[in-house]
Every structure is written in C-alpha cells, then in structure tokens.
Amino acid sequence: MRDCGRRCVYCGHPLDPMEATLDHVYPLARGGTHVPGNLVAACAPCNRLKGDMLPHEFFARYPMAGANFVRYARAVHRALKRGARRAVSLALAA
C-alpha cells in the first residue's frame, strides 16, 4: 500500500486497506511470479477488469490505467513501467 501512495495503480482512486486487492501485473496464468516487482495494490473492480490480460494488452485497451500505473506503481520492475509507457503512447496515438 505504501509503494502506491494508498491508491489503486490502475484507476488512481484512494484505497481502503480492507478493500485493496493484490494484483500480479504480469498474470500468474501467463507465467508471472509472486516477486515483489510484479505485485501491486489495486481496487477489486480494476483487478477484475484486468483479469489475466498482459500489461500491454490492458494498457492498450485502457490507456488511462496505464498512465495511472506509471504514476502510482513505484515498486514494479522498470521493464513493466517502460512497457506501460509504450502501450499508453501507442494507444493515444491511434
């Protein structure tokens, strides 16, 4: 929670610790792991919306989620942030 400023990394809304969920940025179903750089705090609706989409798929479909991810997800792997920036840029350019 501290690493994301107590906000959902996808929608940016303030998170209540009792309602926050743990999301695997790179989903377990797609080969992701439980390492700290792959875990973020998200609200339940955003976590369900993302489901098992890969980050670039999710951010291409929901560019604002990618922009919020870049802003709030401070403890993720740099490669995930670079991918998010790229997906948001491509989605907004289209």
Tens-place pLDDT, residues 12-60: 999 998 999 999 999 999 999 999 899 999 999 999 999 999 999 999 9
Tell me how crowded residue 11 is: count the other CB atoms within 10 A of its CB.
Answer: 18
Q: What does the pLDDT read at residue 12?
A: 95
Tens-place pLDDT, residues 49-65: 999 999 999 999 999 99
**pTM for the structure as a whole:** 0.89
Q: How many domains does the chain have?
A: 1
Q: What is the DSSP letter of 26?
A: S
CATH label of the domain that carries residue 42: 1.10.30
Q: Is 28 helix (H, G, I), strand (E, B) or coil?
A: helix
Contact 37, 23 (CB under 8 A): no
Pairing of strands 39-42, 21-24: antiparallel
Q: Residue 27 belongs to what domain range?
A: 2-93
